[in-house]
Amino acid sequence: MSKSRNPPVGRLARLGKVAALSARGSAGLAVRALRKVAGSDTQETERSTIGHFVQVLGEMKGAAMKLGQALSMEVDALPPELRQLVARLQSEAPPIASEEIASIIEEELGAPPERLFAEFDPKPLAAASLGQVHAARLEDGREVVLKVQYPGIADALDSDFSNLSVVARAAGLTSKLFDGRDYVEELRREISLETDYLLEAERARAFHALLAPEGDLLAPEPIPERSSSRVLCLTRVRGQTLQRFIDSNPDAEARWRVSEQLIRAVHGPFFSAARIHADPHPGNFLVTEDGRLALLDFGCVKSFRPDFVEAIRAFMRSEVRGEAYEPLAGVRAAGFEVELDEAIARSLLAETVEIATRPLRTSCYDYARDTSVPDMRALGLRRTLDFLRIRPPAEAVMLGRAVGGCAQNLRALGARGDFRSVYARLLERMAPRVAQEARSQG
């Protein structure tokens, strides 16, 4: 793991990095095409291009690196060996110097790490998009991890989203047909909140309480006296990342167990407490030696209106029960604005629901054969203009990020079993206060 300089923070500097990546990528595509015509091997060319892509995004950190993390979850986008290379962005980005980390800790907590902890490892356990993680031990013997924010990362995020707004306008996303500014702003707002580690500590505490009753799910506890807005101290959870678990080729029983746990960890808090972990890439889950699943990194947690949750729950419950349901009324109840002829809207929603709810309509679904993600993309391309006339509420952006990421993880796990029953149990256990608040709002 090579050392990295502090990430560039200015708009032009970061845009220049992306432009250089684009140019190199285009050149790589051209060379690959020529070699294909000549019949020569292109694997090394692809590996070199993607390796450079990973290195640059890893050095940039911020939203640019999050884009790379999202790509690493795309099961169909890259061959397995190249996807593993991109997967390094989940937790193995180039770290910044240990001296810089020690300086940030002293500035934030008032003393150097060797005085604050009985033990502190200057070598990072992981280096992610907004900060890197170090192992430490408290004076009372507890193992902890220290998440230290990269210098200037808030400015880097602001630059990335300013550039994204420019790209959105250039791509026509703010045209009369579809104004995407609300969605860019939603992403900016939610991801920018990830730089507030005191807020993340509150979220970690809430998820620790939400998951503890499950028994086989857990979240680390924050240590407030060793935390600040840029340094977060949490109890340490040991295990292998979800990606490494998948790469270890586990047996069918283990795949099913972790898949079922994953659904409860991501969807459970949504239905029980109207909140969801909206950054479910494989680096944010650990499979422990005793068979539990740990959820990590609570920087991106979205809270929802109770009536929105109730609308989603009513729809999913009708699917698992095989009951009649009117999708058009359902999306409107959730806050979607529909500007299509009703017959066209119903046909579009029928196709969408058929793809999205396949695991809910059978007692034995095989995720190893799942094609819902590419099928949904194909539908989106085929009926783009129709989709542009159904406008989701801004909060649906983060729900889509969470649910889509969970689905990609389930595809990668490739388990086979009764997922319908898993969702049915979750829906029935929804905390009464969420439904009551939804009814009071109505």
Instruction: Please say whether the dihedral angle defined by the alpha carbons of residues 116, 117, 121 and 126, taken in this order, is positive or negative.
Output: negative
* Residue the block writes with tokens 């993390």: 69
Select which of 41, 158, 182, 279 is catalytic: 279
Measure the CA–CA gap between 239 and 35, rounded to whole angstroms. Answer: 42
CA gyration radius, the chain: 22
Of 366, 291, 360, 270, the residue nearest 322 (C-alpha):
360
Enter the DSSP assignment of 95: P
Measure the CA–CA gap between 280 and 419, rounded to whole angstroms. Answer: 19
How many residues can be counted in the chain?
A: 442
* Residue the block writes with tokens 């220049």: 16
Structural contact between residues 211 and 218, judged by C-beta atoms closer than 8 angstroms = yes
How many other CB atoms are there within 10 angstroms of residue 38's CB atom?
Answer: 8
Measure the CA–CA gap between 31 and 24, rounded to whole angstroms. Answer: 10
What does DSSP say about strands 126-127 and 131-137: parallel, antiparallel, or unpaired? antiparallel
158 is catalytic: no
Catalogue the active-site residues.
279
